[in-house]
Every structure is written in structure tokens, then in C-alpha cells.
């Protein structure tokens, strides 16, 4: 229990930091004299590095050990927090946020993997629910904390507050997380790790995600600056896939069991894609990340830009959308563990997410407080149910010896979805807003400039004098957010249909892990011969 609680503590730190910056960004941009593009990258860099480094950190943990990697990633997170806290310009901020992202991504993926090490599959649903609730609690309190610090104290405390949390969690991990040691000398382990695949994956993933992120913001989608790295990234990821297939065939048999010898272990085992149910669950996990992060990113902007709320009130207003995620993750995880079934939660979760996303279309400039509170509840319940349910689906569908690898890729799939989710929604918002502003003669000259960045436009709206232009701009902003809600409804509907083809597997499986929890056996002096 103490070992698991220590994992939850540092997971909470990573979750808080991933969500606390969005509401405070307009204030930070003003204080550091930053541009809209710099503010955009401050929010995006954390997610990008978090996604890119997750598979590599997971691969390192398979070879060198979970505990060591968890402490290293916690150190990265702390160093990144300090750099961001003392930043005097956006260059320092971006460096700090990127280092934080590496640490945060490692913390999140290793947390998922460690659940598979510590707990048998039959009981794993509840533990996935508890761990998922840490992420959910961070999603709930992060925006409020960020808004409160930025408005009433200092935005720097968004980062300083991480240090005592990550410090306490690291100390607890050092003392309480005792795992069986992996065999082999350091040199042997270094030879076993897939260094080539790691470098290719990081380079290709960065080359893919950066143009996806800046397309339509820094450069047009048809610009060579967007298309060239994007295509290079796709080519690199395809090449990486073939290389991992080659390594997997050399290192494992047809059932995913490690063959004898000193073969290089791939970063991503091909055996974790052994059936259609796993492929569907991974795909819908990406969509879950897209939907959840798009809502968490753009709903606060609705409250600030359309409703005119302060950052703190906007942080409170996001509670109906995120407040049910944590309790539903725990309730569903426990229910799945008790019943031994999980597909019902996947189906119901996607149904409620689809319906809830559609209800957001009713949000507008004149929406009352009770209305927007109730309109957000269904999507909150739905997205919360999916955290433990899909995690169990991946675990049950695969080989028992692949549990850690499957959990790592599941975590990566969700963060990858989060990384591209804001970009996808941002493109939908930009195109819609530009078209709507062109219909207003007084706003048409600024259509291209205003539609570039949703966050920067919040300050523009707040600084405008009351009048028809401000009313029209707020209406256009609200209607453009409606385009995002339509897109999220469509993606959730696709995921719902796909989930109907997932097969049910038994949760009563043998617990297989090389890094199980290690508890020293206490022997009396008499039993040990007085030694």
C-alpha cells in the first residue's frame, strides 16, 4: 500500500502540472512579454516531450529496472519545474517545460506499468482506477490552482508547488517501493537495450508532432516547413515499426516469450498487437486522449472568452466537466474487479462521452450557470469510466508476460492523443472562426490575425470596449468552439462503434512479471542459526 501511495503522489504532481498552465497562460504571457506563439509552445512543449519519451523510458525500465527510472524521471520533473519557476523569458520557460514533459511522461507511463508489476490482473481494475483518479484529481484542481496562483500570488508558484510533492513522493518511492532486481551486469543490460530504435523513434516522433502542432499557427498547412518534417516523421515511424518487427522476431517466440541469448529487446514489442481487440483498444485510447484533452483545453477558454469569467472562476467552472472523472474511474475499476467484466464499462463510457460531447453544442454566450453545469456532467462521467475500463481491456487481451509493455503503449497512446488533440481542435477552431469573422464587415480585416490562436484572443476580447464588435466577436468565438464540440462528438461516436467489436477476455490470469514487489522475509536468530 505504501509503495502504491508513493507512486500516486508523484503521479499527482505530473497531472497537476499538465493542466494548471492553460488558464494562467494569458497572465504569464503578459508578465514575460511573450508572443502568442511563445505562449502556445509553453502549453504544448510539455505534452510533446511527454509523448515522445514515454516509450523510450518504458523500454529503459524493462532493462534497467522500474524504481531507478522512476526516480530519474522524478528528478527531471523537479529540474524542469525549477527552470520554469525562475524563468525570466520564454526561452527558459520552454526549456523548463520540455524537461518537465520528459519527467512527467516517464512518471505517468511507469505508474501504469508498476500497477501490472504489483497487482494480479483480477484485482488490477481497482488499482488502475485509483491511479487514474490521481490524474483526474490533477485535472480538476490544476486549472483552479493555476488560476489562483497567477491571479492572486504569482504564476511562478504553479511550478514551485511541484517540488514538495515530487520530493515527498520520491522519498516514499526510495524507501517503500522494493522490487525484485533484474538479473545481469550493467554492461549486459546496456547491450540489451534498443538504442538504435530509441533514437529513430524520438527523432521521428518529434518530426511528426512538431509540424502537427504548429500547422496553421506558425506556418500554413501547405507550407514546406509543415509538410517536409511531417512526411519525414511518418517515414521514420514506418521505418521504426519495421525495425521493431525485426527485433521482435529475433528476441521472442510466437507467444511473446523471450528466447534465450543476448538479443536486443525492442522498445515496443510487436506481440502487444497480437489481436484485433488490442488494436481497437489502442486506437480508441488515442481518441480518448484527443477528446479529453480538447475539452480540458478549450472549455476554460469558453468560460474566459465567452462568459467573461476570471482565471480563478474559470478554473472552478471546469469542475463539472472534470469533477466526475476521478470518482467514476475508481467506481468502475472496483466494479470491473468485482465482476470480472470490463466491456460494459467501455461501451457505456463511450456512449455517455458521445452524448455528453453533443450536449456541449448548447453552450453559448447566454447559457446560464445551472445550464452549463448540467451540460458538462455526462461527458465527465463517460471519460472517467474509460480510464480503467480500457486499461483492463488492453491487459486482458494480451499475453501475461507482455503486461508491462502493453501498459506502457496504452499510456503512450493516450498521451499521443492528447498531443494531437489540441492541434486537431485548434485547426477546427481556426478555420471556423476565420470564416465567421469574414461575415462581419468591421471584424473581417482582423479575421486572419484573430483566428491564429484561441488563447491570445481571450485577452483581445477582455480588452475590447463594450459594443457590437465585442458582441459579434464573442458570438463568433462561441460558435467556433461549437465546431470543436461537433468534432469531439463525431470522434466519440467512431470510438463507440469500434468498441462494439472488442472481444471479452477473462481477468483471471496468472500474474507474470520480472519486477514483482519484493518483501524481505524476516527470520529469527534461531531459524537462521544465530547468524
DSSP string for residues in 326-376: HHHHHHHHHHHHHHS--HHHHHHHHHHHHHHHHHGGG--TT--HHHHHHHT
Residue pair 131/10 in contact by the 8 Å Cβ criterion: no
Residue 486 to residue 460: CA distance in whole angstroms: 25
Task: Give pLDDT, residue 312.
Answer: 75
| CA 112 to centroid of chain Cα atoms | 12
- Give the distance from CA 347 to its chain's centroid: 21
**Per-residue cell: 425:** 481542435
Query: What is the DSSP code (8-state) at residue 440?
Result: S
Give pLDDT, residue 512. 66
The one-character DSSP state at 303 is: I
- 197 HSE (CA, 13 A, CB side): 25
Distance from C-alpha of 9 to C-alpha of 346, rounded to nearest angstrom: 27
Hey, how many other C-beta atoms are within 10 angstroms of the C-beta on 30? 13
Instruction: Check residue 492 and give its pLDDT.
Output: 96
- Global pTM reads 0.84
Rounded to whole angstroms, how far apart are CA atoms 309 and 82?
30
Q: Where are the alpha helices (DSSP H) in 193-324?
A: 195-214, 224-251, 276-301, 311-317, 319-322
User: How many whole angstroms from its chain centre is CA 225?
Assistant: 27
Q: Which CATH code, of 1.20.1250.20, 3.40.190.10, 2.40.160.40, 3.30.2320.80, is assigned to 2-499? A: 1.20.1250.20
Residues 205, 47: contact at Cβ < 8 Å?
no
Residue 523's pLDDT is 38
Euclidean distance between the first and the last CA atom of the chain, given in angstroms as a whole number: 31
d(CA 49, CA 110): 15
Instruction: Return per-residue pLDDT of the chain as tens, 531 residues.
Output: 888 888 888 888 888 877 777 677 777 877 887 776 777 777 778 888 888 899 999 888 888 888 889 999 999 999 999 998 898 888 888 899 999 989 988 998 898 888 888 888 888 878 877 887 787 677 677 777 777 777 777 888 888 888 898 999 999 988 888 876 777 777 877 888 888 989 999 999 889 888 887 776 677 778 888 889 999 999 999 999 999 888 887 766 665 566 656 678 888 888 888 889 999 999 999 999 999 888 888 888 889 888 888 877 877 788 887 778 878 888 998 898 888 899 999 999 999 999 999 999 999 888 898 998 899 999 999 998 998 899 889 988 888 888 888 888 998 898 889 888 877 888 888 888 888 888 888 888 887 777 777 777 787 888 888 888 888 888 888 998 999 999 999 999 999 999 999 998 888 877 666 666 665 543 344 444 443
Report how far residue 109's alpha carbon sits from residue 189's, in angstroms, rounded to the nearest whole number: 21
In a 13 Å sphere around the CA of 294, the CA atoms on its Cβ side amount to: 33
Q: Which residues contact 166 (CB under 8 A, 6 or more apart)?
A: 10, 13, 74, 77, 78, 81
Question: Phi, psi at residue 391, to the nearest 5°?
Answer: -60, -40
Q: Residue 311: how many CA atoms within 13 Å on its side-chain side?
A: 26
Query: 210 is written with which cell numbers?
Result: 512538431
Mapped onto helix, strand or coil, the DSSP state of residue 219 is: strand
What is the Cα–Cα distance from 56 to 131, expressed in whole angstroms? 21
DSSP letters, 450-516, are HTT-HHHHHHHHHHSPSSHHHHHHHHHHHHHHHHHHHHHHHHHHHHHHHHTTPPP--S------SS-
Task: Name, in order, each residue with C-beta under 8 angstroms of 13's C-beta and a sequence gap of 6 or more.
Answer: 77, 107, 138, 162, 165, 166, 169
- DSSP H or E stretch at residue 85: helix 66-85
Q: How far apart are CA 101 and CA 57, in angstroms?
A: 12
Pairwise CA distance, residues 96 & 45, whole Å: 9
Amino acid at each position: 500500500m505504501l509503495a502504491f501511495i508513493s507512486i500516486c503522489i508523484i503521479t499527482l504532481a505530473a497531472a497537476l502540472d499538465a493542466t494548471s498552465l492553460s488558464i494562467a497562460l494569458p497572465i504569464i504571457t503578459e508578465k514575460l512579454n511573450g508572443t502568442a506563439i511563445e505562449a502556445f509552445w509553453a502549453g504544448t512543449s510539455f505534452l510533446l516531450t511527454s509523448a515522445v519519451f514515454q516509450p523510450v523510458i518504458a523500454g529503459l525500465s524493462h532493462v534497467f529496472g522500474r524504481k531507478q527510472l522512476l526516480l530519474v524521471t522524478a528528478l527531471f520533473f523537479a529540474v524542469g519545474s525549477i527552470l520554469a519557476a525562475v524563468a525570466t523569458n520564454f526561452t527558459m520557460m520552454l526549456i523548463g517545460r520540455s524537461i518537465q514533459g520528459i519527467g512527467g511522461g516517464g512518471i505517468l507511463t511507469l505508474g501504469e506499468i508498476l500497477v501490472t508489476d504489483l497487482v494480479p490482473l483480477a484485482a488490477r481494475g481497482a488499482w488502475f482506477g485509483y491511479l487514474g483518479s490521481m490524474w483526474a484529481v490533477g485535472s480538476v484542481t490544476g486549472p483552479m490552482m493555476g488560476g489562483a496562483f497567477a491571479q492572486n500570488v504569482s504564476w511562478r508558484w504553479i511550478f514551485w508547488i511541484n517540488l514538495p510533492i515530487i520530493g515527498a513522493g520520491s522519498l516514499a518511492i526510495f524507501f517503500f517501493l522494493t522490487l525484485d532486481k533484474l538479473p545481469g551486469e550493467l554492461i549486459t543490460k546496456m547491450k540489451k537495450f534498443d538504442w538504435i530504435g530509441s533514437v529513430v523513434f524520438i527523432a521521428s516522433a518529434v518530426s511528426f508532432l512538431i509540424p502537427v502542432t504548429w500547422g496553421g499557427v506558425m506556418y500554413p498547412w501547405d507550407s514546406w516547413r509543415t509538410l517536409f518534417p511531417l512526411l519525414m516523421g511518418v517515414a521514420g515511424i514506418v521505418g521504426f515499426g519495421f525495425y521493431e518487427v525485426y527485433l521482435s522476431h529475433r528476441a521472442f517466440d510466437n507467444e511473446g516469450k523471450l528466447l534465450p541469448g543476448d538479443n536486443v529487446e525492442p522498445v515496443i514489442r510487436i506481440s502487444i498487437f497480437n489481436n484485433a481487440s488490442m488494436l481497437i483498444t489502442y486506437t480508441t485510447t488515442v481518441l480518448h486522449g484527443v477528446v479529453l484533452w480538447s475539452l480540458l483545453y478549450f472549455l476554460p477558454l469558453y468560460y474566459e472568452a465567452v462568459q467573461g469569467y476570471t482565471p480563478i472562476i474559470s478554473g472552478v467552472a471546469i469542475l463539472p466537466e472534470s469533477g466526475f472523472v476521478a470518482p467514476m474511474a475508481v467506481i468502475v475499476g472496483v466494479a470491473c474487479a468485482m465482476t470480472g467484466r470490463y466491456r460494459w464499462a467501455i461501451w457505456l463510457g463511450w456512449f455517455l462521452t458521445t452524448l455528453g460531447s453533443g450536449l456541449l453544442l448548447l453552450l453559448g454566450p447566454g447559457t446560464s450557470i445551472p445550464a452549463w453545469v448540467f451540460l458538462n456532467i455526462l461527458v465527465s462521467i463517460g471519460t472517467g469510466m474509460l480510464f480503467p475500463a480500457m486499461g483492463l481491456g488492453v491487459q486482458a487481451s494480451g499475453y501475461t508476460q507482455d503486461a508491462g509493455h502493453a501498459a506502457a503503449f496504452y499510456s503512450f497512446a493516450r498521451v499521443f492523443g492528447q498531443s494531437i488533440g489540441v492541434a486537431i481542435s485548434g485547426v477546427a477552431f481556426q478555420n471556423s472562426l476565420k470564416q465567421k469573422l469574414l461575415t462581419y464587415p468591421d471584424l473581417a480585416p482582423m479575421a486572419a490575425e484573430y483566428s491564429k490562436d484561441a488563447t491570445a484572443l481571450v485577452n483581445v476580447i477582455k480588452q475590447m470596449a463594450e459594443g457590437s464588435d465585442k458582441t459579434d466577436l464573442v458570438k463568433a468565438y462561441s460558435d467556433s468552439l461549437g465546431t470543436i464540440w461537433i468534432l469531439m462528438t463525431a470522434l466519440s461516436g467512431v470510438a463507440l462503434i469500434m468498441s462494439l467489436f472488442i472481444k471479452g477476455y477473462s481477468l483471471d490470469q496468472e500474474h507474470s512479471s520480472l519486477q514483482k514487489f519484493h518483501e524481505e522475509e524476516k527470520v529469527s536468530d534461531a531459524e537462521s542459526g544465530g547468524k
